[in-house]
Amino acid sequence: MLAVQLGAFPNRINATGVVITMQQALPLAVLLAAIKPVLAAALGASKQSFGVDWWPQQWAQAEERAFEIAVGAVLTQNTRWENVQMALSQLEKAGIINASQVWESPLSALQAAIRPAGFYRIKAGYLKNTARFWLDSGGQAGLAAQSDEDLQRGLSAVKGLGVESVADILLYGFARPVWVVDAYTRRLIDRLGFPEEARWSYHKLAEFLFKATINPHWTPLQQVEQCAYWHGLIVAHAKRYCRKKPLCRQCPLHASRDLPICPSV
């Protein structure tokens, strides 16, 4: 793990009165370790609130939690979570809450139920593909028995499950240690002064972030918890402060005296 000497940056202005930015002061890996406690304190984050249970549960009668997460991961593509909630709720009302029901449901009924999530014709096809894969793999129990690599490879081969959806399912559905890199993650890294890294390919960035934040000597469970914790932190920070139009004056990464100034302020 990277040790961070926060004491090296007690102020955001050096002795000559020049403002020190994060990019000038800290490489990205070290900066991540430095901002973690600052974000956690400002957002009131705990292992419980940002753990693997962070992914919202909608279906009261869900037989397979991981399947609900897979459905949510498909539906949330290119839309807000509020719309996903409406679609999940309509699926539940229509009695379509497991892989068999998704697979056997008439396409028109599936499309009607998920309409609030947008792109409903395409997403209904993606859900059918996911359901077929699920059933062919022995459901949640069969998938849970697979190695990290096999599970990732299998999910990635399903048309409609993109890299971020696969990461959501791996982390929240099957408690596998992977970083979820979403648009919020890229925006934060970009605004902290690392535009090049923010444009890295999904796998390159996810691997970098994993190595920068996860201790290889931790237990698998600790690694999973930390991956989930980071994702929860970044999403919460993006929603509260680092929005499309950022609220920099209120942001803990701007106001903290323990960090060099965010270059995007």
The residue ranges that bind ligand SF4 (CB under 6 A) are 191, 241-242, 246-248, 251, 253-254, 262, 264-265
- Cβ–Cβ under 8 Å, residues 90 and 122: no
Q: How far is the CB of 164 from ligand SF4 (least distance, A)?
A: 21
Q: How far is the CB of 4 from ligand SF4 (least distance, A)?
A: 17
**Cβ-based nearer residue to ligand SF4, 52 or 188:** 188
**Cβ-based nearer residue to ligand SF4, 113 or 238:** 238
Q: How far is the CB of 91 from ligand SF4 (least distance, A)?
A: 35
Rounded-to-integer distance, Cα 51 and Cα 210, Å: 16
In this structure, the number of other CB atoms found within 10 A of the CB of residue 42 comes to 19
Distances (CA, A) of 120 to 75, 79, 95, 180, 205: 9, 11, 18, 24, 30
Three-state DSSP class for residue 21: strand
Q: How far is the CB of 249 from ligand SF4 (least distance, A)?
A: 8
Radius of gyration in angstroms for the set of CA atoms belonging to the chain, rounded to a whole number: 20
- Cβ–Cβ under 8 Å, residues 114 and 90: yes
DSSP state of 146: S
**Cβ-based nearer residue to ligand SF4, 123 or 237:** 237
Rounded-to-integer distance, Cα 92 and Cα 109, Å: 12
**Cβ-based nearer residue to ligand SF4, 213 or 264:** 264
Rounded-to-integer distance, Cα 262 and Cα 3, Å: 21
Q: How far is the CB of 248 from ligand SF4 (least distance, A)?
A: 3
Q: Name the amino acid, one letter, at 241.
A: Y
Q: How far is the CB of 262 from ligand SF4 (least distance, A)?
A: 3
**Cβ-based nearer residue to ligand SF4, 44 or 216:** 44
**Cβ-based nearer residue to ligand SF4, 132 or 240:** 240
Rounded-to-integer distance, Cα 33 and Cα 92, Å: 41
